[in-house]
Amino acid sequence: MELSEKFYGIIQKISGEVRDTNAPTLRLLGQLIGENIGNGGVLHTFGSGHSGILAQELVHRAGGLVPVSAVVDPTGGWAETLPGYGSRLVDRHHQNFGLLSGETIIVISNSGRNPSPIEIATRCKELGLTVAALTSLEMSRQSESLHPSGKRLYEIADHVLDNCGVSGDAALAIPGRPEKVGPTSTFSGALLLNLLAMEIIEFMIRKGDPVPILRSANLPGAREYNAEISARYRHRLSRPL
């Protein structure tokens, strides 16, 4: 069946779709976030369950931006369907690290139907943040919201990044079986987030702002450099350097 070859082909196709579909939004967000970081702001992320992997992709990343902070779900997604839980997560993060008006949060949810990401987005908008959703529009449009409002994440967000995945995430059919394999959301989500990081960095360079970029801690002198460049954000990051 050569499942690995077929999956590789799907990933190649989705990579191009992700780039082309989201290019205008990536550029717009790059300017918006780059301007805010240049003024001392922080970029925030949130993902529940498996999307929590992506929420950490830009956090404390060698070659990435220093001022990125994740809203952490200590249940690992176990409580993501519990109404009210997402709002409490935001309030806790806001109390500990600050969610400031004018900053941006990227809320990641493949289906966009569960209460936690929806409440994170709603509460952050109330606090004056710009909300960018990273989701599968195809899946979300076919899904019924589990939040009492009846809304899905993409209907609340100010900007939407589409991971171009299919409903159910797995994209590869197995002959003679009802299940599909080969989930694509983590790969395409990581690509989107890193494309966004490049847009932010390029905007800041063109504008002439200093760009706070982390070095790999395994390079000589990097730990000292990272500590110095991150000092201004010491009380704002959920994962301090």
The answer to whether residue 48 sits within a structural domain is yes
pLDDT at 241 over 60: no
pLDDT band at 1 (very low <50, low <70, confident <90, very high): low
pLDDT at 225 over 60: yes
The answer to whether residue 131 sits within a structural domain is yes
The encoded tokens of residue 120 equal 């994170």
State the pLDDT at residue 11.
95
Which amino acid type is present at position 219? Answer: L
The answer to whether residue 12 sits within a structural domain is no
State the pLDDT at residue 234.
85
CATH of the domain at 156: 3.40.50.10490
Please tell me the distance from the alpha carbon of residue 233 to that of residue 119, in angstroms, as a whole number: 26
- Which tens digit of pLDDT belongs to each residue from 192-215? 999 999 999 999 999 999 999 999
Assign residue 149 a region (left: φ > 0; alpha: ψ between -120 and 50; beta: otherwise). alpha
Please tell me the distance from the alpha carbon of residue 207 to that of residue 31, in angstroms, as a whole number: 10
The encoded tokens of residue 233 equal 């954000």
The answer to whether residue 208 sits within a structural domain is yes
- Show the CA angle centred on residue 74, arms to residues 69 and 77, nearest 5°: 100
Domains held by the chain: number: 1
The answer to whether residue 8 sits within a structural domain is no
The answer to whether residue 17 sits within a structural domain is no
The answer to whether residue 5 sits within a structural domain is no
Residue ranges making up the domain that contains 64? 25-233
- Which tens digit of pLDDT belongs to each residue from 151-164? 999 999 999 999 99
The encoded tokens of residue 72 equal 């952490």
What DSSP state is assigned to residue 233? G
State the pLDDT at residue 18.
97
pLDDT at 240 over 90: no
104-131 as b/e: b if 16+ CB within 10 A: bbbbbbbbbbbbbbbbbbbbbeeeebbb
H or E element in which residue 105 lies: strand 104-108
The encoded tokens of residue 67 equal 């001022």
The answer to whether residue 18 sits within a structural domain is no
What is the pTM for the complete model shown? 0.95
